[in-house]
Structure 1
Amino acid sequence: MTQRSETMPWMLFLGVGLGLAMGSFDGAAVQGIFPYIAGGVATSSDHALWALTYFIVNWSVGITLMPWTHARFGARQVFLGACSLATLGSVISASTGNLWILLLSRAMEGMAAGLLVPLSQSLFLRASPATQHGLVMVLWSNAMLVPFFIGPALGGYFAVTSGYRWIFALSVPFWLLAAWIGSGQIREERGPRPPGFDLPGFLLLYAGLMALQIVLDNGEQYGWWHSRFILRTSLMAIAFLSLFAWREATARHPLLRFHYLRQRNYWLGLLLLCLGWALFMGWASLLPLWAEENLGFNGWWGSSILIPIGLAAVPLSILMDRLHGLLGLRRLASACFLLFALAYGTAYLSPMMSLGDLFWPVFLLGLGVGALFVPLTLLILSGVEKEEIPAASTTSNFIRVFSANIGVTLLEVFWTRGTALAQSNMRADVQPLPGLPLPVLVQHLQSLTATLSLDNLLRLSMWIALAAAAVAYLFLISPRRLAATAANSYVEEVERESSSA
Structure 2
Amino acid sequence: MKNSTLLPALFIGVAMALGLGSLEGSAVQGILPYIAGGLSTSSDHALWTLTYFIVHWSLGITLMPWSTARFGARRVFQGAAAIAATGTLVSALTHNLWIMLLSRAMEGIGAGLLVPLSQSLFLRHSPTARHGMVTMLWSNAMLIPFFVGPAIGGWLATTLNFRFIFWLSLPLWGLAWFLGRTGIPAGGENRDNPPFDLLGFGLLYAGLMALQVTLDQGEQYGWWHSFYILHTALAALILLLLFAWRESRAPHPLLQFHFLRQRNYWLGLLLLCLGWSLFMGWAAELPLWAEETLGFNGYWGGVLLLPIGLAAVPVSTLMDRLQGLFGLRRLATLCFLLFAAAYGSGYFSPQSGLAEIFWPMLLLGLGLGMLFVPLTMIILSGIPAEDIPKAATTSNFIRVFSANIGVSLISVYAIRDGALASNAFREHLLAYGNSSAMTAPTLAGLVAAQANTLSIDNLLRLSMWLCLLAALMAYAFLIPPRAIVTPGSPRSYVEEAEEEVAPL
Whether the 8 Å contact between 2:328 and 2:480 is mirrored in structure 1 is yes
What corresponds to 1:353 in structure 2? Answer: 352
Match of 2:438, SS state, is coil
Q: CA shift at 1:326, angstroms?
A: 1.3
What corresponds to 2:34 in structure 1? Answer: 36
Whether the 8 Å contact between 1:134 and 1:321 is mirrored in structure 2 is yes
Whether the 8 Å contact between 1:9 and 1:128 is mirrored in structure 2 is no
CA distance in 1, matches of 2:466, 2:491: 31
What corresponds to 2:474 in structure 1? Answer: 472
Q: CA shift at 1:138, angstroms?
A: 1.2
1:456 equivalent in alignment to 2:458: yes
Amino acid of the structure 1 residue aligned with 2:499: R
Count residues with an aligned counterpart: 499
What corresponds to 1:336 in structure 2? Answer: 335
Match of 2:428, SS state, is coil
What corresponds to 1:322 in structure 2? Answer: 321
Match of 1:126 among 121, 124, 129: 124
Match of 1:493 among 469, 487, 496: 496
What corresponds to 1:186 in structure 2? Answer: 184
Residues 63-114 of structure 1, C-alpha deviations (whole Å, 9 max, x = no match): 0000111111111111111111111111110111110000000000000000
Q: CA shift at 1:497, angstroms?
A: 1.8
Equivalence map 1:64-143=2 (5 Å): 64-143=62-141
Cα pair distance change 1:433/1:249, threshold 3 Å = same
Equivalence map 1:69-468=2 (5 Å): 69-190=67-188, 192=190, 193-430=192-429, 431-432=433-434, 434-468=436-470
> Percent identity over the alignment?
62
CA distance in 1, matches of 2:124, 2:274: 30
Whether the 8 Å contact between 2:8 and 2:183 is mirrored in structure 1 is no
TM-score w.r.t. the length of structure 1 is 0.97
What corresponds to 2:11 in structure 1? Answer: 13
Amino acid of the structure 2 residue aligned with 1:492: E
Amino acid of the structure 2 residue aligned with 1:316: V
Whether the 8 Å contact between 1:341 and 1:463 is mirrored in structure 2 is yes
Equivalence map 1:38-57=2 (5 Å): 38-57=36-55
Amino acid of the structure 1 residue aligned with 2:87: G
What corresponds to 1:27 in structure 2? Answer: 25
Q: CA shift at 1:191, angstroms?
A: 5.3
Q: CA shift at 1:189, angstroms?
A: 3.0
What corresponds to 1:58 in structure 2? Answer: 56
Residues 136-188 of structure 1, C-alpha deviations (whole Å, 9 max, x = no match): 11111110000000000000011111111111111101100100111111112
CA distance in 1, matches of 2:428, 2:345: 29
CA distance in 2, matches of 1:40, 1:33: 11
CA distance in 1, matches of 2:77, 2:285: 33
Amino acid of the structure 1 residue aligned with 2:106: M
Amino acid of the structure 2 residue aligned with 1:436: M
CA distance in 2, matches of 1:52, 1:370: 23
Q: CA shift at 1:9, angstroms?
A: 2.2
**Structure 1 consecutive aligned stretches of length 4 or more whose deviation exceeds 4 Å:** 5-8
Cα pair distance change 1:6/1:161, threshold 3 Å = closer
Match of 2:502, SS state, is helix
Match of 1:188, SS state, is coil
Cα pair distance change 1:259/1:480, threshold 3 Å = same
CA distance in 2, matches of 1:463, 1:378: 25
Match of 2:382, SS state, is coil
Amino acid of the structure 2 residue aligned with 1:204: L
Match of 2:294, SS state, is coil
Whether the 8 Å contact between 2:265 and 2:379 is mirrored in structure 1 is yes
Whether the 8 Å contact between 1:385 and 1:486 is mirrored in structure 2 is no
Residues 470-491 of structure 1, C-alpha deviations (whole Å, 9 max, x = no match): 0000000011111128822521
CA distance in 1, matches of 2:90, 2:70: 28
TM-score w.r.t. the length of structure 2 is 0.97
Amino acid of the structure 2 residue aligned with 1:179: W
Query: Which segments of 5 or more consecutive residues in structure 2 lack a partner in the other structure?
Result: none
Whether the 8 Å contact between 1:343 and 1:364 is mirrored in structure 2 is yes
